[in-house]
A = this chain, B = another copy of it.
Amino acid sequence: MVKVGIVGGTGYTGAELLRLLVGHPNANVTVITSRSEKGVPVAQLYPNLRGLVDLAFSEPDIDSLSGCDLVFFATPHGVAQNTVPAILATGTKVIDLSADFRIRDIAIWEHWYGQAHGAADLVPRAVYGLPEYNRKAIQDADLVACPGCYPTSVQLGLMPLLQAGCIDPTDLIANSASGVSGAGRQASIANLHTEVSDSFKAYAASGHRHLPEIEQGLSDMAGMDVNLTFVPHLLPINRGIHSTIYANLTDTAVDVQALFEQCYADEPFVDVLPAGSHPETRSVRGSNYCRIAVHRPGNGNKVVVLVVEDNLTKGASGQAIQCMNLMFQLPETAGLSMPGMVP
């Protein structure tokens, strides 16, 4: 059994790690930390875990964390970089769900996250935790930077096309929409039920933190710099990301349906739907699947890719566990085979 620690367990990605690890056959959570809730039983904050999780939150502490085989950081951006070096030094592996180790260009990270980076020397050591692109490197990693929720959906939606070289990488559009849980569990007026329910809006249309992460990943896939217009929107649901991606085919002879099916034929968590389909976010609610459909309206040169995932699962905690499975030579699907909850 992999002994697991979770730092920052009060937020939604922490709670999702717990929900998923409760049913994992090869891992046990032994430590979960929260400064603000120190001493409080986890199941008091999350009554859905009553009878299933007996732990209480403890103060973060290198000694207890280094007793784990693996520590997940489910902390706000800027926190993990302060503690990860000390934990790695003890031989404990780390998966960081925050943005701290995702972006290779430190200047870009510091620009978008508005602070100096506290562990820039570790960034080259971090492996970007997108199994469909980076599986082998993840298997050998001791520090994994788990991708953001939007970036996962956009990269999985464009990877087959970019790798095949059949679209113009300089004119990509990702029109994405996320459930509210992406904003985390913090007191705010902006995310009250009264403010976001029964409504829909774009936000950060002029620039969002996930843009440089997505462009870095897409550029890796394309083997050249890409240019993406990324507009996120806020859905009045809790879980789910839907990305509608537009690109211009440079080779209109390509069979895009076959391309996607071949690219993901062996992937356990990427499901290419039959031609003509439209994936629904609910089909992946609470599950680690990503579902994709690809269209060519009017059989023209515009390709439209539809991607859904659960932002807390494949977009965060599920993907982190998928990486853990790879890092510890467990079956990649261990603990992750539950279907989406419908209805």
Contact = CB atoms under 8 A, between A and B. Distances in A.
Contact of A193 (B51, B191, B205): B191
Given A193-B236, A194-B12, A201 B48 contact: no
Nearest to A286: B341
Contact of A281 (B200, B293, B302, B341): B200
B231 A304 contact: yes
Contact of A244 (B196, B233, B271, B337): B233
A272 B44 CA distance: 13
A229 B304 contact: yes
A200 B342 contact: no
Given A22-B337, A289-B51, A342-B48, A278 B205 contact: yes
Contacts of A240: 199-200
A175 interface: yes
A306 B338 CA distance: 30
Contact of A199 (B22, B231, B281): B281
Given A200-B280, A242-B201, A343 B302 contact: no
A177 interface: yes
- Interface size for chain A: under 10, 10 to 19, 20 to 34, or 35 or more residues? 35 or more
Given A22-B337, A200-B237, A340-B48, A180 B193 contact: yes
B205 A343 contact: no
Contacts of A343: 12, 15, 181, 194-195, 198, 238-239
Given A48-B340, A206-B295, A196 B193 contact: yes
A49 interface: yes
A113 interface: no
A197 interface: yes
Given A193-B196, A229-B304, A244-B175, A48 B187 contact: no
Contacts of A197: 180, 193, 197, 236-238
B205 A181 contact: no
18 contacts: A15-B342, A19-B342, A50-B283, A51-B271, A181-B194, A186-B189, A187-B189, A188-B192, A193-B197, A198-B285, A199-B280, A199-B281, A200-B242, A200-B280, A202-B244, A206-B295, A231-B244, A246-B246
